[in-house]
A and B are shown apart, each in its own frame.
Chain A
C-alpha cells in the first residue's frame, strides 16, 4: 500500500492561472455543480514522531460514495530550500467510498504537519487540507543516540583543553621572564617573547571558538527531543548516484539533464533541481546568467565545490544539465 514518496513542486504561476480560470468560469455563470466531490477526513489530531498513523478519507459526490477512486495522503515538506507535498500513502476507495491510509509520522516534531488528501478525479486533483500536531517521539532512521550520561558532555573537553593550554602558556611565559631577567646588554626584538605568548594564547582561544560555534549537524549524537532527520524526498523519477566517474566508467552518452544533475551529486549540495541546500547556493537565472562563468564554475569548483573535469562531464553534458536546472528552477 505504500508508494515511493514524491514531491510535486508547487508552481505559483499555475496556481494563479488556475484561480483565474476558476474566477472567469464562475463569472461566466457556467451552471455546473460547484465541486465535483466532497472529501471527508478522519484523522487523529495529535501524533508522535515514529508512530504509525492511520487516516481514513471518504470520497463522495452528489450521487453518493465514489467507488474505486485514486486517493493519496500527502504532507507539506521542505528540503534544501524547496517545498512541496510529499506523498505518504496512496489507495483506492472501497464500495462505501472509504480509503484507509497508514504511514509513519516522520515530520519534524517542532511543527504542525500540514496534511492534504488528494483525490485524482475526472476533473483533476481535488484536495482537502487538514492539520496534525506532531509531538516528539523516538528518533528514526538514525542509530540510537547512545547512552545519555548527563555529566559526560562537551564541558569536559573545555576543561581538559583549558588545563593543557594553561600549562603550555605558563611554560611559554617563562621566556618573558628570562628576557626580563636579562642583566647584560639589550637584546634585539625584545617584544619577541611577548609575541610568542600572545600567539599561543590566540591559538588556544581560536580552538575554543571553533568548538563553541560549531554548526548543529551530527545532532543525533546529542540526544535532543525535538531533533529529527528530514524525510526522504525524491524528485520525479529516481536516479542512482553514480559516484565519481572517469573515462573508464562506461556510461550512456544520452543521459538527460536531470539524470546528469542527480548522478553527479549536484543535488546533494544545490538541492533537488537547483533550489539550494546546505552547501551550495541556489542555481537560478540570476546566478547562472553568464553561461561561460557557469561552465567555468562547474569545471573549477568554487568555494569547496568539487571540480568536474573533462573526464567527468563533457561540454555537451554540462550544457544539458544547465538547461535542465534553468528549466526546473530558473524563474
Chain B
C-alpha cells in the first residue's frame, strides 16, 4: 500500500491554515482530474448496465417467464440481491449515525463515504424489487391497492422513509463542503456543475445562525436514522418470517437480518475506503487506524453472526420437525451445503481470524476479508431465499431453481449501477467531511496533546 502516513501530521504553531488548505486541495483534486483508466471504468460499467437493460426489456416483453422463477420457487436472484443491497446500505447508518451519536471522533473522515454507500445501495436495492415485480406498473398497484396488513407494504413504507432520511443525511452534513466547492471551483468547472454546488449549498456562509441550524438538523437525523435503519432490515426479514415457510419461521429473523446488514455494510465500507483512499491519495486522512477500528467492528459483527447461526439452528435442530430436517439436510449436507459452508468458514470464521492476528490486521488483509464477507453475505441471502422456498409445503417433489441469463444480466447491471453511482459521487462531490475535520483539527490544536497523542505523532 506504499508509504502510509499515520495520523495527520500536526505541527503546533506552524499554521493550521496550511493543513486546511492542503485538505481542501486533496478533496477538490478528484473533481479536476480524469484519467484514461477512469473513462474505461465508466465505459465498462455503462456497458454492463446497457446489457442489463436489454435483458430486462426481454422480461418486460415476455414476462417473468424468462427468469428461473416459477410458482413453487417464486423468489430468486432478484430478491437475494435486493436484501443484499439493502443490507449494504446499513454501512452509513452504523458508521455515521451510531458513531456520531456516541461521539467517536475517529469516524469523521470516513462518514461521507459511508453515507454515500447508503444512498447508492438503497437506490440499487429498490430497483431490484421493482425488477422482481415483473411489470414495473405493478408498483403503481402497491399505491392503489396496497394493504397495510401486508409486510410488503411495511417494506415499501420503511424503505421510502429510509431513502428520504438517508438522502437528507448525506446532503445536510455536506452543505458546508458544497459551499467550499462553490467558492473554490467558480469558473474552474463547467457552469452546470458549479450551479449544482451553488444550489445545494443553500447559501451557506458559515455564520452562527447557519451553524446552529446545521447542528440541529444533523443531531435530529442521526438519532432518527438509527431506528429507521433497524426497522428497515427487520421489515425486510419479516417479508420472509411472516409467511408460512419452514426455514423462515423464526423469531430472531429480524435481529439476524439487521446484524447481517451491518456486517456486510462494514465490509463494503472497508473495501470502498481502501479503493478511494488509494485512488485519491487520502492516506493522510484515512489512516490504518481507521481500518483497524473498522476491523474490530467487523470482528464483532462476525461473532454476533456466528452466535445467531448457533442460536437459530441449534434451537430448531434440537426438536426438528420432518420439514426442518429436510431443510437442514439440504442446507448442511446436500443441495446447498457448499454455499452454506463457504459462508460459514469463508464469511464468518476467516474474517475473524484475519482481524484476530496483528500481522494480517492491515489494509490488504482487511480488504480481502471484506471481499469474502460480501460474497458470503450475498450467498447467505441467496440460500435463505431459495432453500427456504424449496422445502415443500405439501407432498410434492421439491422444485429447483437456477437463475437464467436474464437474471444474471440484471444482477450484473445492478452491481454496475452501484459502482457507477459511487464512482460518480466520489468524483463530483466532496468525499471527506472537510468542515468537520477542520473543526476537529482546530480543537486538537487548541489543547495540549495528551501523552497518547504525543506518542502517535
Q: Do A and B bind each other?
A: yes
Residue positions of A touching B, CB distance < 8 A: 154, 157, 161, 164-165, 167-168, 170-172, 174-175, 177-179, 181-184, 186-190, 192-193, 200, 203, 206-207, 210-211, 214-215, 217-218, 221-222, 243-244, 246, 301, 303-304, 306-307, 309, 311-312
Q: Which of these, A157, A174, A306, A309, contacts B217 with CB under 8 Å?
A: A174
A183 & B205 in contact (Cβ 8 Å cutoff): yes
Question: Which residue, A161, A168, A192, has most C-beta atoms of chain B within 10 A?
Answer: A168
Other A-B pairs, 12, CB within 8 Å; known A167-B224, A178-B214, A187-B201: A170-B220, A171-B172, A171-B221, A174-B213, A182-B203, A187-B198, A187-B199, A187-B202, A188-B198, A214-B145, A243-B70, A309-B62
Bound Cα distance A222, B147 (Å): 12
B405 on the interface (CB 8 Å rule)? no
Bound Cα distance A206, B143 (Å): 9
Closest-CB distance, A173 to chain B (whole angstroms): 8
Closest-CB distance, A29 to chain B (whole angstroms): 61
Contacts of B135 in A (CB 8 A): 301, 304
- From B7-15, B157-165, B373-381, give the one contacting chain A: B157-165
Closest-CB distance, A49 to chain B (whole angstroms): 22
Contacts of B205 in A (CB 8 A): 181-184
Q: Which of these, B168, B175, B201, B209, contacts A168 with CB under 8 Å?
A: B168
Q: Which of these, A161, A172, A218, A246, contacts B168 with CB under 8 Å?
A: A172
Contacts of A175 in B (CB 8 A): 171-172, 175, 202, 213, 217
Q: Select from chain B the residue with minimum beta-carbon distance to A220.
A: B149
A-contact 0/1 string along B198-231, CB 8 Å cutoff: 1111111101011001101100110010001000
Contacts of A222 in B (CB 8 A): 149
- Can you list 14 contacts pairing A with B, beta carbon distance less than 8 Å? A164-B161, A168-B161, A175-B175, A175-B213, A177-B209, A178-B203, A178-B214, A181-B207, A192-B199, A192-B200, A206-B143, A214-B147, A218-B149, A244-B65
Identify which of residues 128-156 in chain B touch chain A, using a CB-to-CB cut-off of 8 Å: 135, 137-138, 141-143, 145-150, 153
Closest-CB distance, B166 to chain A (whole angstroms): 11
B160 & A181 in contact (Cβ 8 Å cutoff): no
Closest-CB distance, A296 to chain B (whole angstroms): 13
Bound Cα distance A217, B200 (Å): 44
Residue positions of B touching A, CB distance < 8 A: 61-63, 65, 70-71, 135, 137-138, 141-143, 145-150, 153, 157, 160-161, 164-165, 168, 171-172, 175, 195, 198-205, 207, 209-210, 213-214, 216-217, 220-221, 224, 228
Contacts of B161 in A (CB 8 A): 161, 164-165, 168
Bound Cα distance A187, B200 (Å): 9
Q: Select from chain B the residue with minimum beta-carbon distance to A209.
A: B143
Contacts of A170 in B (CB 8 A): 220
B145 & A215 in contact (Cβ 8 Å cutoff): yes
Contacts of B145 in A (CB 8 A): 214-215
Bound Cα distance A187, B175 (Å): 13
Bound Cα distance A168, B167 (Å): 11
A214 & B70 in contact (Cβ 8 Å cutoff): no
Q: Which of these, B63, B209, B228, contacts A307 with CB under 8 Å?
A: B63
Bound Cα distance A34, B165 (Å): 80
B213 & A304 in contact (Cβ 8 Å cutoff): no
Bound Cα distance A117, B118 (Å): 67
Contacts of A307 in B (CB 8 A): 61-63, 65
Closest-CB distance, A51 to chain B (whole angstroms): 28
Q: Select from chain A the residue with minimum beta-carbon distance to B165.
A: A168
B165 & A184 in contact (Cβ 8 Å cutoff): no
Contacts of A157 in B (CB 8 A): 148
Bound Cα distance A147, B77 (Å): 36
Number of A-B residue pairs at CB separation under 8 A: 128
Closest-CB distance, B170 to chain A (whole angstroms): 12
Contacts of B198 in A (CB 8 A): 187-188
Bound Cα distance A244, B68 (Å): 12
Closest-CB distance, A311 to chain B (whole angstroms): 7
Contacts of B214 in A (CB 8 A): 174, 178
Q: Select from chain A the residue with minimum beta-carbon distance to B217.
A: A174
B147 & A178 in contact (Cβ 8 Å cutoff): no
Bound Cα distance A170, B217 (Å): 8
Closest-CB distance, B197 to chain A (whole angstroms): 10
A167/B220 contact (C-beta < 8 A), A177-B213, A182-B203 known: yes
Closest-CB distance, A237 to chain B (whole angstroms): 23
A178/B175 contact (C-beta < 8 A), A171-B168, A188-B195, A304-B141 known: yes
Contacts of B203 in A (CB 8 A): 178-179, 181-182, 184, 186-187, 190
Q: Which of these, A193, A207, A214, A309, contacts B157 with CB under 8 Å?
A: A207
B207 & A183 in contact (Cβ 8 Å cutoff): yes
Q: Select from chain A the residue with minimum beta-carbon distance to B209.
A: A181
B137 & A304 in contact (Cβ 8 Å cutoff): yes
B143 & A210 in contact (Cβ 8 Å cutoff): yes
A203/B199 contact (C-beta < 8 A), A178-B210, A178-B213, A306-B63 known: no
Q: Select from chain B the residue with minimum beta-carbon distance to A211.
A: B148
Contacts of B201 in A (CB 8 A): 187
A182/B204 contact (C-beta < 8 A), A174-B213, A174-B214, A175-B217 known: yes
Question: Which residue, B143, B157, B213, has most C-beta atoms of chain A within 10 A?
Answer: B213
A164 & B217 in contact (Cβ 8 Å cutoff): no
Top 10 nearest A-B pairs by Cβ distance? A182-B203, A174-B217, A181-B209, A187-B203, A177-B213, A307-B63, A171-B220, A174-B213, A179-B202, A184-B205
Closest-CB distance, B201 to chain A (whole angstroms): 7
A188/B199 contact (C-beta < 8 A), A171-B221, A178-B214, A304-B137 known: yes
Q: Which of these, A164, A192, A200, A244, contacts B228 with CB under 8 Å?
A: A164
Q: Select from chain B the residue with minimum beta-carbon distance to A193.
A: B202
Contacts of B171 in A (CB 8 A): 175
A311 & B216 in contact (Cβ 8 Å cutoff): no
Contacts of B138 in A (CB 8 A): 304
B63 & A301 in contact (Cβ 8 Å cutoff): yes
A189 & B199 in contact (Cβ 8 Å cutoff): yes
Bound Cα distance A239, B172 (Å): 60
Contacts of B221 in A (CB 8 A): 168, 171
Q: Which of these, B65, B70, B157, B216, contacts A161 with CB under 8 Å?
A: B157
